[in-house]
Amino acid sequence: MSGGSGPPLGFAEAFDLPLSVDLRTAARAFGICPATAYKLIRLGAFPCPVLRIGGQYRIPTAYMLRTLGIEERPVYAVPLEDDAAPAARPHDPYTRASEAPA
């Protein structure tokens, strides 16, 4: 991988991606340089579906994650703090009023 494309994506960063990503981001996820990604697209060998929108390539994030072997997103992309359980947070939209701390 070339130095210009940045470090590979970590799990937490991958789970925060939008619905589709640009080719440079997809190349980072696969651990290849952008030049190799463009070459694979020209050869029809990119590892997941690629959309051509105007003059740009966009890669649907769901296909990219599935190709990487990530079928489902975890409930939490980062570990929770020991003292902050999800149900104990008053701003949690899934907490019922009767469950909110007094």
- In this predicted model, what pLDDT tens digit does every residue of 49-92 receive, in sequence order? 999 999 999 999 999 999 988 876 655 556 656 555 555 555 55
Half-sphere exposure of 49 (CA within 13 A, CB side): 8
> Is 43 part of a structural domain of the chain?
yes
Spatial distance between the Cα atoms of 89 and 86, rounded to a whole number of angstroms: 6
> Is 12 part of a structural domain of the chain?
no
Query: pLDDT tens for residues 19-33?
Result: 899 999 999 999 999
> Is 95 part of a structural domain of the chain?
no
Q: Are 59 and 21 in contact (CB under 8 A)?
A: yes
Question: Whose CA is closest to 27, among 6, 10, 12?
Answer: 6
Cα 53–chain centre separation: 20
> Is 2 part of a structural domain of the chain?
no
> Is 66 part of a structural domain of the chain?
yes
Q: Phi and psi at residue 59, in whole multiples of 5°? A: -115, 120
> Is 56 part of a structural domain of the chain?
yes
> Is 42 part of a structural domain of the chain?
yes
Report how many domains make up the chain: 1
**By residue range, what is the domain housing residue 58?**
23-73
